[in-house]
Structure 1
Amino acid sequence: MSAWSDIFQITDPGYVALVGLIFLGAAIIKGFLGIGLPAAAMAFLTLLMPPTEAIPLLWLSILGTNSLQFARAPKKWDIAKEYWLFALAIVVCIFVTSMFIADYPTALLTVAIGIAMVLFSLNLLLGIKLRIGPGRGWQAVFGVISGTLGGISSIWSPTVAMYMVARDVDKERFIGATGFLFLCGVLPLGAGQIVAGVLTFPVFLQSVFVLMVVLVGYRIGELLRSHVSQKLFRKAVLIAFLLMGIRLIFNGLAA
């Protein structure tokens, strides 16, 4: 089905319902973990449509959920001061790489992201921790990697989470900091996709429908999060990345 362009005529209600369920599930993960909406959605959307159609469909939902996430975070100014270099690197790299999104070998990138997610989650689940110091240099490095991956695939949560988990950031700070870093990357991502010609007005209208579904799922995930301990939260993050990474690898190999 080309570009999901007939959604508002509902020519295939089953297709629209399936897309809605995918986004509902991805949003529950996002509300619960604070991360994972693009990765979880892309793992299944690529089974239904080309990545160049799925990626811009995520833009408005990424903007909406991360705006809510950061708006509810305590000590916003402290978060911004601590992670400004990380955010700047993400902004620059996302904009530059997203302008050429139609030209990248998406299948190869999807496999690479999936492998990184699997290795990262397995290492930490087995008790092996990355050695990352408090220096700004680490933020710049992870920001460049995150922005490059995010601009090409709309998925920059794995490397952001790698940094936060390695730094032993507590649950509430994790939610606020990741919300800030994801929110900073959304506008340059949209701008780059407009330049590339993949984020069009019809796609934007489709994403409005997606956003309504996502906000419901996001709230469900938030309610679940309030009843989970930090230890279980950390494990849930890693298990979610492991499962999503495996799914991305299979998607990339099958492309």
Structure 2
Amino acid sequence: MQIHTLTIIVLVFLLAGAVKGMIGLGLPTIAMGLLTLAMPPSAAASLLLVPSFITNVWQLWLGPSIGPLLRRLWPLLAGLAIGTLTGGLPALTAGSTWTHAALGVVLIAYGLWGLAAARLPAPGRHETWLSAVVGYLTGVVTAATGVFVVPAVPYLQALRLSKDDLIQALGMSFTASTIALGLQLRVTGALQTVELGVSALALVPALAGMAGGQYARRVMSEQAFRRCFFVGLIALGAYMAATGWL
């Protein structure tokens, strides 16, 4: 791997880690969005595996309610795994312009949702089967784009969890997504040992970025940061969608 590619990887994971440290999510979204400008989506997803897994296990482990959340969210986690491994959309391994454009559309949708600060209605008595459906759809999107935030993140916000439980639930969902994506890449032959080695090295800037993001959260308005973050996602997504279809 060339020096300029390694430099790009370090800078991308510094930024992605900073975003995650600031608002609790965004590492895979930022990393996939930027890395796919310089490499195939399957390679970008492989690089994402180690930093995403470690940072999300950390986020999951520090929360207060692992047992209760597992009992409540197991349909979502099961659906997520099934959707990632069996989803019908073209996978990252296709390396097609469709994949690039689809990732752009996902980024735009997520950015608009974040700017609107919208919330879905609580699922109530339909939660069990809705969780499974949302998990499956998130898995399908994960397999096609490498981004596992839509529709899982808006749905988890709709469950009206406490702040700490929401952060832990996000870590749980993202950890399951990372494992399922790794298995999917392995099964399709897109997971390479050299990429996993670089992925392990990418953990260092990701953790450094997280530390910086946590510091920034203490000295900067989170509302202002979130606004800039989501506007940036929309701009990046529009660029990727346009270049993927043109």
TM-score (norm 1): 0.83
What pairs with 1:160-179 in structure 2 (closer than 5 Å)?
160-179=152-171
What pairs with 1:8-47 in structure 2 (closer than 5 Å)?
11-12=2-3, 14-47=4-37
The residue number in structure 1 matching 2:73 is 83
Matched residue type, 2:237: L
> Are the aligned partners of 2:79 and 2:135 in contact in 1 as well (CA < 8 Å)?
yes
Does 2:130 correspond to 1:130? no
- Measure how far apart 1:190 and its partner are: 0.7
TM-score (norm 2): 0.86
CA distance in 2, matches of 1:80, 1:233: 29
Look up the SS of the partner of 1:140 in the other structure.
helix
Look up the SS of the partner of 1:158 in the other structure.
coil
Does 2:217 correspond to 1:217? no
The residue number in structure 2 matching 1:147 is 139
Which range is displaced more, 40-49 or 56-65? 40-49
Does 2:103 correspond to 1:110? yes
Give me the identity figure in percent: 23
Structure 1 segments unaligned to the other structure (5+ residues)? 1-5
Look up the SS of the partner of 1:35 in the other structure.
coil
- Measure how far apart 1:63 and its partner are: 0.8
1:240–1:176: structure 2 CA closer, same or farther, 3 Å change rule?
Answer: same
> Are the aligned partners of 1:171 and 1:233 in contact in 2 as well (CA < 8 Å)?
no
The residue number in structure 1 matching 2:180 is 188
Does 2:239 correspond to 1:250? yes
- Measure how far apart 1:241 and its partner are: 3.6
Q: C-alpha root-mean-square deviation of aligned residues, in Å?
A: 2.5
The residue number in structure 2 matching 1:96 is 86
1:141–1:241: structure 2 CA closer, same or farther, 3 Å change rule?
Answer: farther
> Are the aligned partners of 1:95 and 1:151 in contact in 2 as well (CA < 8 Å)?
yes
> Are the aligned partners of 1:158 and 1:241 in contact in 2 as well (CA < 8 Å)?
no
Which range is displaced more, 108-117 or 20-29? 108-117
Structure 2 segments unaligned to the other structure (5+ residues)? none
> Are the aligned partners of 2:59 and 2:171 in contact in 1 as well (CA < 8 Å)?
yes
Which range is displaced more, 204-213 or 163-172? 163-172
